[in-house]
Structure 1
Amino acid sequence: MSRMWKTRLAALAVLTTTAGVGLAAPAYAAPLTNVSWSLSQPQPGTANVRYTWSFTTPSGGIIQSVTFTVPAATAGSSLTVPDVYGLTGGTAALSGTTVTYTVTAPAAVAAGTSILVSIDGFTNTTSTGPFTSTVTTVVGGTNTDTAVSGPVTISPSSTAVTVVVARSTAFSSDTTSFNMLMDPSVSALTDQTRAVNLTVATNAASGYVLNVKTSQPLTGTLHNTSQFTPVTGGMATGVATGAFSTGRFGYSLTASGVGAATSAPLTSGNYVGYTTGSGEDVVSATGPTNGDTVVITNRAKIDYSQRADNYTATVTYTVVPNY
C-alpha cells in the first residue's frame, strides 16, 4: 500500500529591519574608518543644505550619540534627520561648530557596521576653502572612536554632484510546492530528497540574512498525532548523510556567492531539522551581492513504522537585508 507525503513551500516578500546585536564590553579609542562628509550644496552662505556623514565602526558598543564638526559660522537652528542607517532614530542639534546626533533609543552596534547620518537645515559658512569634519562616537557618555573626513570645498565655483542609488533586494524560489510519494515496500521510495533553489541579490551595504522556519513538523492530515520527527532540534547539531534515520525529516544546505551558512553542521553538509516560531538564520552575508544561490535539500526517510497518511507543513524563507 503506498504512502503519500506532501509539503508546500512558500517564499515570503523581502523584509527590511535593523537588528540590535548583543556584545561584550568593547575596547574603545580606535579610529573610525571610511569617514566621509558631503554637502548637497557647496556654495558659501547657501541655506537649506543637507550634510551627510558616513563611517564604519572599528569596535562594538551601545552608541548614545555621534558628534560632527562643521566650519565656523555654519548655522542650523531647526535641524531634521531624513536618513540614518546603522543606528536607530534620533535628533540633531548644532552648538558652535559641533553637530550632535543623539540616538533616541540607543542599541548595541557591532564592530564593522557601516553608519550613515543625513541632516537637513544647515546654512553654509560664508567662508570659502576646503574643510574637514571630525566624527566621534559617544559611548557611556565618553568620546570613544574618532577620525577626520576628507576635505569638502565650499566655493562659489563648486558644483555638487549627488547620485542616489535606491535600496533594492531581489529574492526568489524555484519551488512553490512539491510532493513525495513514499512506499516502504519499494526501496527507492523509502528515502527521498527534493531540492529548493533560492536566489538572493541585494545592494544592502551590510549584506543580508536568510531565515528558515516551518509552520509545524510534518503532520498527518488524517491522523494529526502522526508526524515525521525533525532529524535534529535545529541547526546547532546535525547528522551525516549515512546517519539519517527512518521517520525523520530534515534539510541540508549549500550557498554560493558572498553568503555563507551560519552553522558548522550546515557547512559540513550535514542534515538538520527545521524549527518553528522565529526559525533560524541559516545564511548570512556581510556585503552586497549580484546574486547568491542557496540550495536547500529536503529529505524524508520511512519504513513500515511510519503510518500511511498525507503529511504536510509549510516552510517559509525570509531574506532580511541590512542597509
Structure 2
Amino acid sequence: MDYEYNGLGQVTDVGGATGYLLAADYNALGQVNQYTLGTSEALTVKKAYITNTYEEGTDRLKRSLTTDATRSVQDLNLTYDKTGDVTSVFDTANLSGTGASDYQCYTYDGYQRLTDAWTPSTASCATSGRTTTNLGGASPYWTTYTYTSSGLRTTETAHTGTGNSTKTYTDQYIRQSETVCFGRLACNHAYSYSLAHPDDVAGAKHIAATYCLSHAAQCQSDARVWERTYQAGDEFVMAVAAGEGFRIGEALTGCSFSPDTPVLMEGGKAKAIGKVKPGDHVEAADQKTAST
C-alpha cells in the first residue's frame, strides 16, 4: 500500500495494485469534505464519491452522501440532541427506487446512555410511533437497554411482533447493585458461591448480607470489624476490614493485619485491632502539621 499526504499531513491518495482512494478534500478544520474512490483515475473507470456536510456551530456531521456517476447509493442524514448524542440516522437514497428508505432513531437517559434504538416505518422519531407495528426498513428492530447506576448494562430487550426477548447481564463478581459484606468470612462465602452459581446474583448477595448474622461468633473471631449491610452503588462487593474495604474479586484469604496488631486509641492506650469496634476513636496524625 502506498500513501500520499498534503502539506498538513492529511492523506490524499491510497493505492496498491490498483487505486483505492484517488483524492481527498478537507475543510479548514481538517474534516473530510469529499473522498473520491476508484481503482484508477482513467475516465472510463467507475468511481464513487463520499461527500460530507457539517452542522454550523457544532461541526457535527450532518450529512454523508455516497454517489456514483448516476445515482445516490447512500444518503445518511443525522440529527443530534443538545449534548451531541445522535438521535436519528435517516438513509433516504433508496438506490433510485430499487431499495427502501431506512430510518433509525435513538433515545438516551440523563446520563447519555442509549435506552432505545428502533427503525420506524416513516421519517419520525416520535415515541408515540415506537411500536412493533410501526417498525420498517430493510432490517426492522426495536431494542431497549437498562443499566445500573454506574453505567453497567443490565438488560437488553428486543421487541418484535411475536413478543419480547430479554437478555440479562450479570457476572460472577456480583456487579449488580452490590452490597457491602458483613465481614471477611461473608465475602469469602459469597465469592465462592458466585463462582459456582454465576447466574444467581441475588443468592450471592444474600450470603454477603446475612452470613455473619447466623455465624456471629465466627465473624467476631475473624478479627474483622463488620458493619450492617448497605447499598454501595455499583462497585464490587466490599468488606469493611479494619476501616478499609477490599474487593470481593481480589484474594480474600489474606488479612492486612493480624488480630493482635496494636492500635493506638484515643487517650494513648493500645488496643488489638481485632477488638476495635465501629465508633471507637483512634489516634491519627496530620502529616502536614505533625499534630495528633
Give the structure with the larger strand fraction: 1
Give the structure with the larger helix fraction: 2
* TM-score relative to the length of structure 1: 0.21
* TM-score relative to the length of structure 2: 0.23
Higher RCO structure (Cα 8 Å, ≥6 apart): 1
